Amino acid sequence: MSYTKNLIQEIIAKTPGESEFHQAMAEVYGALAPVVDDNPRYQEAAILQRMAIPERAIVFRVPWLDDKNHVQVNTAYRVQFNSAIGPYKGGIRFHPSVNLSILKFLGFEQTFKNALTGLPIGGGKGGADFDPKGKSDGEVMRFCQSLMTELYKYLGPDEDIPAGDIGVGAREVGYMYGQYKRIVGRYEGVFTGKGITYGGSLGRTEATGHGLLYLMDNILKGKNDGFDGKKVSISGSGNVAFYAAKKTVELGGRPIAMSDSGGFIHDPDGIDLSAINEIKFVQRARISEYIKYRPNAKYTVGTGMWNIPCDIALPCATQNELHEADAKALVANGCKAVGEGANMPCTAAAVDVFHENGVIFAPGKAANAGGVAVSCLEMSQNSMRLHWTFEEVDQKLKGIMGGIYEKMNTAATEYKMDGNFVAGANIAGFKKVAEAMLAQGVV
Ligand code: NDP
């Protein structure tokens, strides 16, 4: 068995029950065989073994009082995965499914994603099994304050800088940042995704969705194509999905399907994004409400949105939401390109189907890196005490996404896997982190 295959088996055996982490690790390490063969130093310095273990993982309880004065308790985590190229950077997720395996997969992915941006940030991720849905503002605030009362010890502007993720938007970031500042007594850029009035960057809210479209546009232009006139299916209706849909329209495409965890809508004439904004961000309601705004649209309970014929699919909800059968349905209906707005939304078998059928496939660690890239720009502005315009930030984001495309394309070509952006992104991200680890000795 080859060195990387053997190692993947060893790591799986040593981390039982961590299926999401195994999936992410096997995807990255599975692409590295030719790189490791070319560079015996990586084996000698046990770089892959060291990279697979977080530098530190903190698990702690978060007790809080609900509106009825009942005591509630949740489990929270911060996985500080790799600081070889910069301080730990990665979001915080609030969702009932959160566990150590999911956060290890996200922190591991984040390390390579951050490396791909070309910016000096390491990888980390955090979260809690807390569900903000149905909670009052007061309950969300008390939960965030209790969480930060423990987490602040491990954070710092040059140490670990969290951001939002699923279930953590501007409201939650504000509450967590407020508590951090109150405890440490310093006004410092320890969180990104902050509100514009207290150190946030213009363009951060839009960055992941816009970045996804910039990357896909770069890929399509490389094939003399573009978004103009394309039918686009976008799963989710949160931060990433919404701004991906907006930029799709700006680039001439037509979003025709969106979803939430309850079901999906199909509006062949093009989704009315002002209605989505009202339902999801103002009312915090379910996407099923959409048919009240557009009676010709159809709402379906549950899964199945990938059966709708489209030209481009952008899964932007959560991990493992697009399975092999969905991939086959997309291929059969003529889908030409898939870009992962979410982290690992496509199963490994689904990705194989895309590759086998010549569908362009952009993996999340490249395609959704726009969010963390603009987070890093927010950190720069905080350090410099500056506030850039939306246009300045957007220009930089475009440049960074163009750079990511070049890096993954070049790495894929160098290792004779032309057009395989999974391999290209994994190799380019890995090499940057590996070289930094080698230079820093056995630490
Ligand atoms: P949000 O919480 O804003 O939105 C998540 C969306 O996905 C909601 O519409 C939610 O529906 C839906 N969803 C969640 N779980 C499921 C599920 N099991 N099945 C179907 N739909 C589901 O999160 P974001 O938009 O911020 O994040 C989405 C993805 O993008 C995540 O994978 C995240 O890690 C990734 N990402 C986010 C970045 C960012 O800047 N925000 C940066 C890079 C990656 P419902 O409301 O019903 O729960």
> In this structure, is the dihedral angle defined by the CA atoms of residues 175, 180, 181 and 182, taken in order, positive or negative?
positive
Distance 207 CA to ligand 1 centre (A): 14
Residue 66, SS3?
coil
3-class state of residue 428 by DSSP:
helix
Q: Of ligand 1's atoms, which has the minimum distance to the CA of residue 343?
A: 32
- Which residues surround ligand 1 with Cβ inside 6 Å? 164-167, 208, 236-241, 259-262, 316-318, 321, 341-343, 368, 371
In this structure, what is the dihedral angle of CA atoms 142, 146, 148, 150, given to the nearest 10 degrees?
Answer: 180
Residue among 165, 258, 320 whose CB has most ligand 1 atoms within 8 A, to mutate: 165
pLDDT value at residue 351: 98
Task: Let me know: does 190 contact 156? Beta carbons within 8 Å.
Answer: yes
Q: Which DSSP state fits 154?
A: G
Residue 28 neighbours by CB under 8 Å, 6+ apart: 108, 112, 426, 429, 430
Cβ atoms of 131 and 97 closer than 8 Å: no
- Catalytic residue of the set 89, 104, 113, 125: 125
Instruction: Judge whether residue 419 has pLDDT over 80.
Output: yes
Q: Shortest CA distance to 117 belongs to which of 409, 371, 349? A: 371
Q: Whose CA is nearest to atom 27 of ligand 1?
A: 166
Is residue 290 within 8 Å of 265, Cβ to Cβ?
yes
Tell me: the pLDDT tens digits for 222-259?
A: 999 999 999 999 999 999 999 999 999 999 999 999 99
Strands 254-260 and 337-339: unpaired
Tell me the H-state helices in 333-439: 348-356, 364-367, 370-384, 390-414, 421-439
pLDDT band for 76, please (50, 70, 90 cuts). very high
Query: Which atom of ligand 1 lies at the shortest distance from residue 168's CA?
Result: 2
Alpha-carbon span 416 to 156, nearest angstrom: 42
441: tokens are 């000795």
Question: Side-chain half-sphere of 14: how many Cα atoms within 13 Å?
Answer: 10
pLDDT in tens, 149-180: 999 999 999 999 999 999 999 999 999 999 99
- 1 pLDDT band (50/70/90 cuts)? confident
Mean pLDDT for the stretch of residues 372-385: 97
Residues 290-300: tens digit of each pLDDT: 999 999 999 99
What whole-number distance in Å separates Cα of residue 62 and Cα of residue 212?
Answer: 34
* Cα(119)–Cα(113) distance, integer angstroms: 10
Residue 89 is among the residues annotated as catalytic for this protein? no
Which run of H or of E encompasses 214? helix 204-221
Tokens of 161: 């800088």
Distance from the alpha carbon of residue 59 to the mean position of ligand 1, in angstroms: 23
**C-beta separation of 225 from 251 below 8 A:** no
Name which residue sits closest to atom 33 of ligand 1, judged by CA: 342
- Looking at residue 36, its amino acid is V
CA–CA separation, 104 vs 337, rounded Å?
Answer: 28
Between the alpha carbon of residue 368 and those of residues 109, 129, 182, 209, 217, the distances in Å are 11, 23, 32, 7, 13
Mutate to test the pocket of ligand 1, among 102, 239, 340 (most ligand atoms within 8 A of CB): 239
* Distance in angstroms (rounded) separating the CA atoms of residues 226 and 326: 24
The answer to whether 408 touches 421, Cβ cutoff 8 Å, is: yes
Q: What is the pLDDT of residues 81-125, one digit of tens each?
A: 999 999 999 999 999 999 999 999 999 999 999 999 999 999 999
Give the pLDDT confidence of 7-52 residue by residue, as tens digits: 999 999 999 999 999 999 999 999 999 999 999 999 999 999 999 9
